A and B are shown apart, each in its own frame.
Chain A
C-alpha cells in the first residue's frame, strides 16, 4: 500500500494545487496530445546517491508514476514509456531479474491506478520474451482496461523499433497470404504491384493504439533514440534533458512543453505534410 499512499499524496495537498495553477497557465497554449519518454539514467542516479541499482530503478518507476499523473492533469492523452529494450537482455541476469520483479510490481500498481482514473494500459513489445507470470498479468490488465479511453499509457517492454517493424511486416505478409493474395506471375523489376503498403505495416505496429508522439523526451543527456519509436518520430520534437530519469519532475515537464509550444506552428505544419 506504500505506493498507493504516494499516489494519494500526489493528487492532494498544496503542491497539487500549485501544480494545477501552473498547468492552467500552460493550457493557454497548445498541449501535446502524446508524450513519449526514454527513461535513461536510473543506474547513474543510483551511483550518484550511493544506493543499489534496484533502488535506482524503484526511483525511476516512481518518477514515471509522477509523470503519468502530471500528464493527466495537464491534458495530455497518451504517454508512452520505454521501460525495457530487447537489447537490455544483454545485462547481467541478476539485474534483468530485478527489472522483471519491478515490472510485476508495477503491473499490480497500474491495475489499481487504472481503476482510479479510467486509464487504458497497453504493453507494447515482444511480450513472449517475458515470463508466463508477467505475460498473464499484463494481458489481464490490457483486457480489463481496453474499454477506457480517458488516458492511454503504453509501456514499451521487450521492445525495439526494429523488432516492431519486422513484426508489423510479418503480420502484413501473413494477412495478405491469408486473404489469398499471392505473388503469382511476379515481375522482377520496378513495375510490380505494391501489395503491402505503408498503411498495412502501420496498423500492425505494437504502438498502433496511439498516434505518433508530439514530443519524445530522453533524459540522461544522451542524443540518440536507442531503437525507440524511430518509425513514429518523423514529425516529433526530440527533447534531450541532462537530468537523470529519477530526478525528472514537474518543472522539467513544464520546460519541455514550453519548448514544444515555442515551436508548435512548425511541428503542426510538419505533421500535415507527413
Chain B
C-alpha cells in the first residue's frame, strides 16, 4: 500500500514538473515571437520612412529608373484583397506613370478577371491583352501577329488577367494537345515522338489552349506573405519575385524601390 501511494505521489510530482516545463517552453516560444514581431514592426516603420523619402524624391538614386529593362510585369494579389478595385486601379496608374507598359494581373480565384471591364474602363487607354485559344492552324499566325502588335505598342498599357485555372489545369490541357500529336505521330516513329516533348512544343500547346502569355521579368506579390499563390508555373522559371506587403498598405515608394532593385539585378541563368 505504501509503495502504491509513493508511486502515485511520484507520478503527480512528475506530471507537475512536466506541466511547469511545458509552461516554461510555451512562455519562451511566445517571448521569441514577441521579439520577432517587434523587430518586424521596427522594420516596417523604417520601410515606411524610406518609402516616404523615395516618393518625395529626396533619395537621388531612385529618380531615374531603367524602365526599359522591365518588359513584362506581373502582379499577384491575394483574392480577398482583389475586390479592392480602386486600389488596383491606383496601383496601375502609378505603374503607367513610371513607364511600365505591360502588366499581368493574377489572383487565384479569378476575381480580377470578373473586374476586368471596370478596371479597363477606369484606366485611360489601357488595352486588354488576351491569349486566344485556337485550334485552326490559320489562326496561329493571326495570334502571333496580334501578340506582337499588342506587346510592341508603347503608347498604351496592356493588361492581362490570369487566375489559377491558367496554371496547372492549363498545363494538363496542353498535355492533351501534345497527346493528340503523340497519338497521330505513328507507333514506330520514335524520333518523331521524342520531338513532341520539348519546351517550345509545350509553349505552343499552352498558347493553343489560351494560356501562353509571356514570362514576366518581375512579379510583385501583394498579400500577407511571399508566395506566388499558383501563378502559372511555366511562366515564372526565372522571374524575380518580390513581396510588397498587403494591398491595403501599398505605397508608391515601395513600388519604385522594388522596380529599381530589379533593374540592378544580373542573372547568370545557370552559368
Contact = CB atoms under 8 A, between A and B. Distances in A.
B176 to A, nearest CB: 5
Given A226-B237, A230-B237, A238-B227, A90 B175 contact: no
Interface string A171-209: 011101100001100101110101111101100000000
Contact of A225 (B169, B178, B237): B237
Nearest to B173: A194
A262 B35 CA distance: 12
Interface stretch (A9-17, A127-135, A244-252, A266-274): A266-274
A224 interface: yes
A231 B237 contact: no
B226 A239 contact: yes
Contacts of B68: none
A29 B29 contact: yes
Contacts of B233: 161, 165, 230-231, 234
A91 interface: yes
B176 A28 contact: no
Contact of A273 (B108, B136, B269): B108
A170 B195 CA distance: 11
A166 interface: yes
Most buried by A among B179, B239, B243: B179
Interface in B36-87: 36-37, 40
A167 B198 CA distance: 9
Given A201-B171, A201-B172, A230-B233, A261 B33 contact: yes
A230 B176 contact: no
Interface string B181-214: 0111000000000000111001000000000000
A88 B270 contact: yes
Nearest to B202: A166
B161 interface: no
A235 interface: yes
B142 interface: no
A161 B225 CA distance: 23
Interface in A137-170: 160-162, 165-167, 169-170
Contacts of A226: 237-238, 270
B234 interface: yes
Given A87-B269, A177-B182, A236-B227, A162 B199 contact: yes
Contacts of B184: 183
Interface string A75-105: 0000000000111111100000000000000
Contacts of A28: 25-26, 28-29
Interface in A208-226: 222-226
Interface string A28-57: 110000000000000000000000000000
B238 A270 contact: no
B171 A165 contact: yes
Given A177-B182, A196-B179, A234-B167, A263 B224 contact: yes
B175 A172 contact: yes
Nearest to A28: B29
A252 to B, nearest CB: 14
A26 interface: yes
A24 B265 CA distance: 39
6 contacts: A190-B133, A194-B176, A200-B172, A223-B265, A230-B236, A234-B229
Closest 10 CB pairs of A and B: A87-B270, A28-B29, A234-B230, A230-B233, A188-B135, A227-B237, A170-B197, A196-B175, A169-B175, A263-B225
Given A234-B227, A235-B229, 5 more contacts: A169-B175, A173-B179, A183-B176, A197-B172, A224-B241
